[in-house]
Amino acid sequence: MLKELLFFRKATPKKSAKMSMSDTDVQKQIKHMMAFIEQEANEKAEEIDAKAEEEFNIEKGRLVQQQRLKIMEFYERKEKQVELQKKIQSSNMLNQARLKALKVRDDHVVSVLDEARGRLSTIVQDKNKYAGILQALLTQGLCQLLENKATVRCRQEDHQLVESIIPGAVADYKAKVGKDCTVKLDTDNWLHKDLTGGIEVLNSNNKIKVDNTLEARLNMISQQILPDIRTTLFGANPNRKFMD
């Protein structure tokens, strides 16, 4: 503005000291200066508005980008949570399916063993075969005890059959271990009538007992051959690395 005023002063022709400007000329110069100042002010205001608009747009863009990133991060977290929930649900369903399959397999094995127990009754029907089994069970019990005296218990309906096989079992025991053994039948304590058959062999003071009932033998054998039973029923397990 100072430069402009100096410009107007230079542009105005100098008059002699005797000459003086009229009021009209003064008014024109004042109006011209006011118009120039107003124009310069408007230009400055436009410049300020433009700069403010530019800064506003920059700040708006920054805020929009910032919020966009926050929204993207929020939905990324949500997506990861959904994926995690899906994996957990899938794993739970897979585990439940495996447990159900194992339960069905176990139930099938139990049904097979129950069927085997049901067939134990057919063993005692053949007296000759059953007598041979009782003699072998008594001999095995004596070999486990290795006592000079032993007591044998049986079902009440089997007592005559057991008495008949005692001498043969004692002879088998002597042949195996080279010792004699006195065996007596316990007629005061019979095995429970719900048992299918077999015997129990006790030492002289009844503190050690060998359970050789048919049910006990079946349970013991079934535990030993359970892997073979599973393989026979369901095939080999592809995940099993050791067979011992």
pLDDT band at residue 5 using 50, 70 and 90 as cut-offs: very low
> Phi, psi (5° rounding) for residue 56?
-60, -45
Position 244 scores a pLDDT of: 53
Using DSSP, state whether 213 is helix, strand or coil. Answer: strand
End-to-end CA distance of the chain: 106
For residue 17 the two structure tokens come to 């000291």
Distance CA 89, CA 163 (A): 65
- Report strand pairing: 182-185 vs 149-154: parallel
The length of the chain in residues reads 244
Q: What is the pLDDT of residues 61-105, one digit of tens each?
A: 888 998 988 898 999 998 999 999 999 999 999 898 888 887 887
Q: What is the pLDDT of residues 28-40, one digit of tens each?
A: 888 888 888 888 8
Contact at 8 Å (CB) between 83 and 212? no
151 secondary structure, DSSP code: E
At the fourth CATH level, the homologous superfamily of domain 119-230 is: ATP synthase, E subunit, C-terminal (3.30.2320.30)
Q: Per-domain residue ranges for the chain?
A: 119-230
Name residue, tokens 């069905």.
104
Contact at 8 Å (CB) between 150 and 181? yes
